[in-house]
Amino acid sequence: MELEIRAGRASGIVKAPPAKSAAHRLLLCAGLSRGTSVVRNVAFSEDILATIDVLRAIGAKVYVDEDFVFIRGTDVLRAECGDVISCRESGSTLRFCIPLLLLSGSTFALSGQGRLMQRPQSVYEKLCREQGLRFEMTGDTITLAGPLKAGRFEIPGNISSQFISGLLFALPLLDADSTIRLIPPVESRSYIDITISALRAFGVRAEWTDETTLRVPGGQSYTPWDIAVEGDWSNAAFFGALKALGDDVTVTGLNPNSLQGDRVYEAYFDALKAGCAELDISDCPDLGPILMATAAGLHGCVLRGTKRLAIKESDRGAAMAEELEKLGVACDIGENTILVSVGLRTPTEPLSAHNDHRIAMACAVLLTRVGGTITGAEAVRKSFPDFFDRLRGLGIEVNEHAAGNEL
């Protein structure tokens, strides 16, 4: 789908969408609880629907009403499913659920779309090999079987925190205690803390014993709860970028005391407005595309801690560099750094979303400056289905050039 975005100035108030990172975690905790939980303020993006699909596949009863989700939990220790379970394109769903599916000893098959099955799963492959468990990757399918055993787990701290979170969901349900030691440096710690907070809300304990070690008592159970998803700093950043670029936009619905690492976007945008800033995104890699876009519209920047951008829905550093070049902005990509220059102009060819929701939204923000078209805009359905409607609500003209339903 191709959208034309006319250059213009956004103005108005926009409420932050519900946090996808929190919603995944709260839904899983509810699905593991002994009773019925309510999770409020849920936005049903493709990623969140993937997590709901998995919960239903392993026996949880899930009922959706507007932005409420009612979940009667399942006993994952006895879960079975003879069908292949689709995780769509959700890395969080896949990595959070693999340890849970290893609990029962039954065989499960998981599939994915897009680049999902190209994303590394080496942490779980190694774990299964060491415990003598089944873990086979064939094409777009992972087949696995437990049962997972409690113990001491040692994991590199500079890989995706989704692996650590996956273990944190599963290990409390085992009989014995476990520890997870992260080999320094530890990145994306904020996402681990969000998981610990979600566990705590549902009556499950996991705690840091020092800067690199997590203790997870066994023999625990999840208690049902009624809880709301907080606002999403990560997706709100795209509207915060409009404000940083000079538009009269106010973002509401965000918790200033949130554990979300992406809450640093306000400070980072302030730094970009002040000059060519040097910013570390090791703990907030999802901000990479919008920081590159905002820097291109201001004074340029140097981003550090960028190597994990290559293993997202697209190679985000390379994808943004390709699109920024169409906009007259050069980028220099190093092993763990990205330099963004300036020189923004109207593109002479369509921009591409690279089948990546964050690339689509970052490009859209820049097109509000210079005008142009973007192909593959439907990628926003992965995390923020009504993004373009909200952009229109701020006075930006967005027109669809292909047949089909408007976003």
Q: Which residues are catalytic?
A: 286
Residue 137 in 3-state DSSP? Answer: strand
Q: Is the N-terminal amide bond of 147 cis, ω within 30° of 0?
A: yes
CA nearest neighbour of 148 among 229, 76, 204, 203? 76
CA nearest neighbour of 23 among 387, 383, 388, 389? 383
Cα–Cα dist 279/305, whole Å: 9
CA nearest neighbour of 19 among 203, 258, 216? 258
Q: Are 210 and 182 in contact (CB under 8 A)?
A: no
- For residue 47, give every residue at least 6 positions away whose Cβ sits within 8 Å of its Cβ, in sequence order, or none: 20, 24, 88, 89, 90, 92, 93, 382, 383
C-alpha triplet 271, 275, 279: angle, nearest 5°: 45
Q: Are 168 and 195 in contact (CB under 8 A)?
A: yes
